[in-house]
Amino acid sequence: MPCENLDCPFHELHIANGMSSQSEMQCLITDAVKQVSFPDEAVLFNKGESSASLYALESGVVKICCTTSDGREQIVGISSPGSLLVGLQSINDDCYEYSAVAATPLTACKISHRALLQKAASDGHVSMRLVAALNAQLAHSRALMRVMGQKNSAAKIASFILLMVPHSKRRSGRVALPLSRMEIASLIGLSEETVCRQMARMKRSNIIRAPRGRIEVLDWRNLRAVADGGPLH
């Protein structure tokens, strides 16, 4: 079937007469997928529920959450179009290992685990796309670990902002940031006060602008320098 979700790893571009067209995008897993939408704060799935589906985001952002031993919700990851298939970590498990909550209104392709695995077993093209999606998941996890491994708080925050901005949006530098300062702090292992203070310093240094709910990078060179451990004046 025609597919408008260009960020889904299971679309295929048909080329006619050497010219490509977005209207010719086709889905490789038609029988395994349907389009869905969720409002802000909707739960896609909860930890412990049967892992029946995964989601390829077309628009919006999802928070990946776990509950700590003392009952607090902790954000352990984020997903946006073109980055992760939400639920992919649990594709071979009976139950989800985490919860997924819409941080913004979103649209997505909802993909059946069972039907996808059956399709991958019989179609090498689909299985290679699934391997690529798993590799993207691993790359994102490694990138988040590098953020956590930074030695100073400014470097952690700068690295996190770089991770949040997709390469496709780096020309404009603008990205939705549907996370509170407290949620960012929880995700990268800092206090909320530290996140607020360091982001305020970046704004005073004209590295970023941070209107409510958004981040705009004004100085990529200095942001990368701070991410690499350089001083923030």
What are the domain boundaries of the chain? 11-146, 149-227
- Looking up tokens 């602008």 gives 209
pLDDT of residue 18: 40
In the DSSP assignment, the letter for residue 2 is B
Q: Are 142 and 135 in contact (CB under 8 A)?
A: no
Q: Which two tokens stand for residue 95?
A: 């139950």
pLDDT in tens, 83-133: 678 988 888 788 998 999 998 899 998 989 888 888 888 888 888 888 888
The alpha carbon dihedral of 92, 93, 98, 100 has a sign of: positive
- Could you tell me where the beta strands, DSSP code E, fall in 28-166? 33-38, 43-45, 53-59, 62-67, 73-79, 85-86, 99-102, 106-112
Domains 11-146 and 149-227 share a fold: no
Residue type, 20: S
Higher pLDDT, 3 or 120: 120
CA distance 103 to 106: 8
pTM score: 0.76
With a pLDDT cut of 90, the percent of the chain lying above it is: 24
Higher pLDDT, 27 or 117: 117
Q: Which CATH number fits domain 149-227: 3.90.550.10, 3.40.50.2300, 3.40.630.10, 1.10.10.10?
A: 1.10.10.10
> What is the dotted CATH code of the domain comprising 11-146?
2.60.120.10
pLDDT in tens, 168-216: 566 666 666 778 888 888 888 889 999 999 999 999 999 998 877 678 8
pLDDT of residue 15: 36
- Looking up tokens 């940031």 gives 177
